[in-house]
Structure 1
């Protein structure tokens, strides 16, 4: 017995290191950086509403407050490419989210926080881990077709998120289950926020959401990226779920010339325009107006509408978006006639200093008639900008990058006076057509377009 007991003790001593090592998790050598020190809110600033944020038990606790909009506890630093991990616990009656690549600018909705949000959704819909575009486009990647991720959320318990933002690709996981895979290039950099949603009178004040173990990786992020088995949702030249539900239509499919023709042709121009990588570009030909491929117009006409597209300038470039165009007017040299949302490099193109009315030929202005707001938010040449035009019941507004820059009434006394003092005075009934085509201008400079969409409020065919 003694020898047997001695043998067992020796065997245990020999095998103990083996069993001990097998019971330990592999060491994580990922160079994580803590975004929360567990004790203070240093490095964070509250934006938006007045919800309560405090530190309790090594966690950040947010609680709801009546009569306040959505609140966001935001990092002071901005992040572009990163991998973020955190744990959270949310009351079953709350809606919340993690803002990523988000921003707050004085000119945009009076500083409202906007940008990508990774949803926290304990409701029966169960879209936690989906991607929503706060205060901009709405849902981009819902979990409608991802029941695995919908089931992964743990009610009234801790949940883990992994969020990857690398280039134009956003991926999320909830408790290790792939939730979203989105390809979208709207915003490349911004802060990270912890949201406490505003509540109504029927909801309980003081309801909590708790976050802990918040860490981020910003170095060699591609090395630590995780493959996702999900088919990506690509927003380029496609409609978001909210746009489709509201009746928006693609005005350009991103691949063909369908729906467009030359303004003075029966078909699309054989030269002067190029389709590549989901971008429609008018090519450089020396800066002359409609001297190469010429303007292109939609094959359908529109009365009341909302129009949205992205455009990208090259240095010194000039182009425009015209609406209420009738290609039967002006069969001679130059562009077809219509109201124009100016597209221009204001810094380098001399047209910015010209015009019948001061400043009326600058970017996003109503060309030669009304100057756009001088505080307009324009992205640098070579980057994408978003133009939006709304025309309803003769009330027209131009927007640039989400900010209204001008508005006017078609056919009003003020409008007609401006026309009479402009280069358009010689054209009878200029700008007052009931319906017309949408036109993209060839002004001899390279300008690119994508995500061309229209919401026809009253559409008729030619």
Structure 2
């Protein structure tokens, strides 16, 4: 073989080897892009931002059935006809002078959720852990304040009188109500001595019962005249008749 032919043969052999190497090599494996979003990851639910985990309604039972006043009675008047409170289209409304409406059952540790709507210039409240053997529910029960902050005179008596306050005790921090006449979301969580008030998905107050700090606050208020105020580990839920129209709906509770 001539020198020229030998060179031509060697070059042809190298070319064939290179072609075989490329053809037989496995296809490159794709690597994840660190900057690319993980579309398979769960995305925030539209209901998130309400201050409570999505889907945490499990275990709640209606405290108001949306059709009748079953499970409720006027304070210190069990079995008596209830006037002044009406039920229309799933809404419970105080329409005339009658007295506070309280639950038949008493509750200790609970998560209470409800919606409320106040009339212009209106005032009401939700009592909890209230006894029924005193002159008034507020002698023992603590109050989640319901108020038209702008129009009712109590709105000018200090932030501890504003909507969602622990009435007369703790002002709500970061509370934002919707316009008067629209529905707000209220929530009260009581577990032993620890209590929280929520408004429209935001925790606006939290406190510890029966501590020296709590007792010192009570001593500076009208509640000092009622030694059982805030002292009961268990009691009734109450809806206050403060002389104004107020509506409630979707009242539900989970015992903890």
TM range (shorter): 0.7 to 0.9
Of structures 1 and 2, the larger Rg is shown by 2
TM-score by length of 1: 0.45
After superposition, give the CA deviation of every residue in 1:246-269 in whole Å (9 maximum; x if it has no partner): 321111110111111111211365
1:138 and 2:54 matched: yes
1:372 and 2:172 matched: yes
Supply the RMSD in Å over aligned alpha carbons: 2.1
1:270 and 2:82 matched: yes
Q: How do 1:46-195 and structure 2 match up within 5 A?
A: 63-64=36-37, 94-95=40-41, 115=46, 133-136=47-50, 138-139=54-55
Q: Structure 1's 451 and 336: CA in aligned 2 closer, same or farther, altered over 3 A?
A: farther
1:296 maps to 101
Q: Structure 1's 380 and 269: CA in aligned 2 closer, same or farther, altered over 3 A?
A: farther
Q: Structure 1's 321 and 399: CA in aligned 2 closer, same or farther, altered over 3 A?
A: same
Q: Structure 1's 336 and 297: CA in aligned 2 closer, same or farther, altered over 3 A?
A: farther
Q: Structure 1's 402 and 337: CA in aligned 2 closer, same or farther, altered over 3 A?
A: same
2:145 maps to 342
Which of 334, 340, 351 is the matching residue for 2:154?
351
Q: Structure 1's 329 and 454: CA in aligned 2 closer, same or farther, altered over 3 A?
A: same
2:23 maps to none
2:18 maps to none
1:258 and 2:70 matched: yes
Which of 231, 234, 239 is the matching residue for 1:432?
231
Q: How do 1:279-428 and structure 2 match up within 5 A?
A: 279-283=91-95, 285=96, 292-330=97-135, 337-354=140-157, 358-373=158-173, 375-428=174-227
Q: Structure 1's 401 and 265: CA in aligned 2 closer, same or farther, altered over 3 A?
A: same
Bigger RCO of structures 1 and 2 (CA < 8 A, at least 6 apart): 2
Q: Secondary structure at the match of 1:360?
A: helix
1:453 maps to 252
Q: CA deviation at 1:321?
A: 0.4
Greater share of strand residues, 1 or 2?
A: 1
After superposition, give the CA deviation of every residue in 1:158-191 in whole Å (9 maximum; x if it has no partner): xxxxxxxxxxxxxxxxxxxxxxxxxxxxxxxxxx
Please give the alpha-carbon distance, in whole angstroms, between the structure 2 residues aligned to 1:315 and 1:138.
33
Please give the alpha-carbon distance, in whole angstroms, between the structure 2 residues aligned to 1:433 and 1:319.
22
Greater share of helix residues, 1 or 2?
A: 2
Q: CA deviation at 1:336?
A: 5.7
Q: Secondary structure at the match of 2:223?
A: coil
Q: Structure 1's 362 and 248: CA in aligned 2 closer, same or farther, altered over 3 A?
A: same
Q: Structure 1's 252 and 346: CA in aligned 2 closer, same or farther, altered over 3 A?
A: same
Corresponding pairs, count: 221
Q: CA deviation at 1:454?
A: 0.7
Q: Structure 1's 413 and 96: CA in aligned 2 closer, same or farther, altered over 3 A?
A: closer
After superposition, give the CA deviation of every residue in 1:344-403 in whole Å (9 maximum; x if it has no partner): 00100001222xxx4211111011111111x31211101100111111121111110010
Please give the alpha-carbon distance, in whole angstroms, between the structure 1 residues aligned to 2:141 and 2:183.
24
Aligned 8 A contact 2:140 2:228 in 1: no
After superposition, give the CA deviation of every residue in 1:261-316 in whole Å (9 maximum; x if it has no partner): 11121136532111001100011x4xxxxxx2110111111111111100001100
Q: Which runs of 5+ in 1 are unaligned?
A: 1-50, 53-62, 66-90, 98-112, 116-132, 140-241, 286-291, 458-462
Q: CA deviation at 1:330?
A: 1.5
Q: CA deviation at 1:95?
A: 4.9
Please give the alpha-carbon distance, in whole angstroms, between the structure 2 residues aligned to 1:321 and 1:391.
13
After superposition, give the CA deviation of every residue in 1:223-249 in whole Å (9 maximum; x if it has no partner): xxxxxxxxxxxxxxxxxxx52xx3211
